[in-house]
């Protein structure tokens, strides 16, 4: 089965031109100006927004106008997801609602879309959708099974969509602290009201722990060297802003890759670790399988190999079933507990989509159907 790959989308951050290597960290930092943007206002609350934790107020129009976001593999993902226009679907990563809006356009009057996101600004953006078939809650997608149970839909969902990773508005807003290209508070949390910020982690973590985060979650080859530079510098002055950290990492990195900022992998590692993204993904995949009705579709878009390997392994395991049995054991095919059927192979964005939005270049979409 082939799906069209149309429309620009959400991507990993590109890097800018590197500063001359002979410059000091202080001088390099001065090259990059700060870009503070205030996100103040009052949330316009539609009747079906369900927020479970206190969140900072934000005006939906401000959120939408300052930081635009178009979804990667938009048509392809929705084509793979929606197979019954009167079914009930769950968008586990609302973001700015690109996929949700297209899903709603494909549903009939009896169709229904439930959405969730842990980011308060995503919940604010959802205020723009005025559709009785739509509702959203603020929570992590790892808890999608509980969300379905609360509405009597556990084991009854027609499809689940997961668009993993950080969104363009999160990268582009310096106040969120995800970007090494825009100076802002060193935060990196998907939900700024929960957990430990990047600044707090770097202030208290041991050198070995920082190196482990860079290597395990960022796949950074020079993790130990970069961690040592971080610990050495923090003894003089704590890290509080993104560009400060990026410049220290840049100065310490011995092998710059063409077209990639030297801090890219370390920043990725910090973000994934602080938000528990891989653990969240593992839990969400298991929860989605249980929440789907027989014949329901699971669609997952990932943006780097750590995520995609997990998704690919999960689907393959449930396609094959109980393969741990010893060779020669007589067993019928229907006893293998095969729970999924793969819907084609991994799908990547078209060249046209990548040209429009270069951040889409690393995206991979995988889809599967729950067996009857």
**pLDDT, tens digit, for every residue of 104-143?**
999 999 999 999 999 888 899 999 999 999 999 999 999 9
pLDDT of residue 257: 87
The pLDDT-based confidence of 334 (bands split at 50, 70, 90) is low
pLDDT of residue 280: 94
Question: Is the model more confident about 231 or about 4?
Answer: 231
Domains of the chain and CATH, by start = 25-38+194-274 (1.10.150.170), 49-168+277-323+331-370 (3.40.50.150)
Neighbours of 23 (CB within 10 A): 15
CB-based contacts of 208, cutoff 8 Å, min separation 6: 227
Question: Is the model more confident about 316 or about 323?
Answer: 316
Average of pLDDT values for 88-108?
94
Whether the Cβ atoms of residue 117 and residue 94 lie closer than 8 Å to each other: yes
Average of pLDDT values for 59-88?
73
The pLDDT-based confidence of 61 (bands split at 50, 70, 90) is very low
The pLDDT-based confidence of 66 (bands split at 50, 70, 90) is very low
The pLDDT-based confidence of 2 (bands split at 50, 70, 90) is very low
CB-based contacts of 313, cutoff 8 Å, min separation 6: none
Question: Is the model more confident about 42 or about 112?
Answer: 112
The pLDDT-based confidence of 333 (bands split at 50, 70, 90) is low
pLDDT of residue 361: 82
The pLDDT-based confidence of 180 (bands split at 50, 70, 90) is confident
pLDDT of residue 337: 83
pLDDT of residue 50: 45
Question: Is the model more confident about 62 or about 153?
Answer: 153
Most confident range (mean pLDDT) of 2-6, 199-203, 260-264 is 199-203
- Say which range, 119-123, 197-201, 288-292, has the weakest mean pLDDT: 119-123
pTM, rounded to two decimals = 0.77
pLDDT of residue 70: 53
Gap between the Cα atoms of 126 and 320, Å rounded = 38
Average of pLDDT values for 322-345?
78
Could you read off the pLDDT of 8-37 as tens digits, one per residue? 333 233 333 333 333 333 333 323 333 333
Query: For residue 351, is pLDDT > 90?
Result: no
Most confident range (mean pLDDT) of 43-57, 119-133, 213-227 is 213-227
Per-chain mean pLDDT for the chain? 81
Question: Is the model more confident about 165 or about 127?
Answer: 127
- Say which range, 63-67, 108-112, 305-309, has the weakest mean pLDDT: 63-67
pLDDT of residue 198: 96
- Say which range, 14-28, 303-317, 336-350, has the weakest mean pLDDT: 14-28
The pLDDT-based confidence of 227 (bands split at 50, 70, 90) is very high
Query: For residue 211, is pLDDT > 80?
Result: yes
């Amino acid at each position: 089965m082939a799906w069209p790959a149309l429309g620009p989308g959400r991507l990993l951050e590109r890097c800018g031109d590197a500063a001359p290597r002979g410059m000091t960290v202080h001088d390099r930092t001065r090259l990059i100006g700060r870009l503070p943007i205030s996100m103040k206002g009052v949330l316009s609350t539609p009747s079906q927004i369900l927020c479970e934790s206190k969140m900072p107020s934000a005006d939906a129009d401000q959120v939408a106008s300052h930081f635009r976001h178009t979804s990667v593999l938009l048509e392809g993902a929705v084509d793979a997801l929606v197979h019954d226009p009167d079914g009930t679907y769950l968008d586990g990563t609302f973001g700015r609602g690109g996929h949700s809006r297209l899903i709603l356009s494909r549903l009939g009057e009896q169709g229904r879309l439930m959405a969730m996101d842990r980011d308060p600004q995503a919940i604010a953006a959802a205020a723009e959708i005025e559709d009785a078939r739509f509702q959203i809650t603020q929570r992590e997608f790892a808890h999608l099974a509980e969300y379905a149970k609360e509405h009597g839909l556990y084991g009854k969902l027609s499809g689940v969509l997961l668009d993993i990773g950080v969104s363009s508005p999160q990268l582009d807003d310096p106040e969120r602290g995800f970007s090494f290209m825009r100076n802002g508070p060193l935060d990196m949390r998907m939900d700024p009201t929960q957990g430990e910020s990047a600044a707090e982690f770097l202030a208290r973590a041991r050198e070995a722990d920082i190196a482990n985060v860079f290597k395990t979650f960022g796949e950074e080859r020079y993790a130990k060297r970069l961690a040592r530079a971080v610990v050495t510098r923090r003894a003089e002055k704590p890290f509080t802003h993104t560009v400060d950290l990026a410049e220290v990492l840049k100065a310490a990195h011995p092998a710059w890759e063409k077209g990639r900022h030297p801090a890219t992998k370390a920043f990725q590692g910090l973000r994934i670790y602080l938000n528990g993204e891989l653990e969240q993904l593992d839990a969400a995949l298991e929860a989605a399988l249980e929440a789907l009705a027989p014949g329901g579709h699971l669609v997952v878009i990932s943006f780097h190999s750590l995520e995609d390997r997990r998704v690919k392994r999960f689907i393959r395991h449930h396609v094959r079933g109980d393969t741990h049995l010893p060779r020669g054991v007589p067993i019928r095919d229907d006893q293998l507990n095969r729970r999924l059927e793969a819907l084609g192979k991994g799908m990547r964005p078209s060249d046209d989509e990548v040209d429009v939005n270069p951040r889409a270049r690393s995206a991979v979409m995988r889809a599967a159907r729950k067996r009857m």
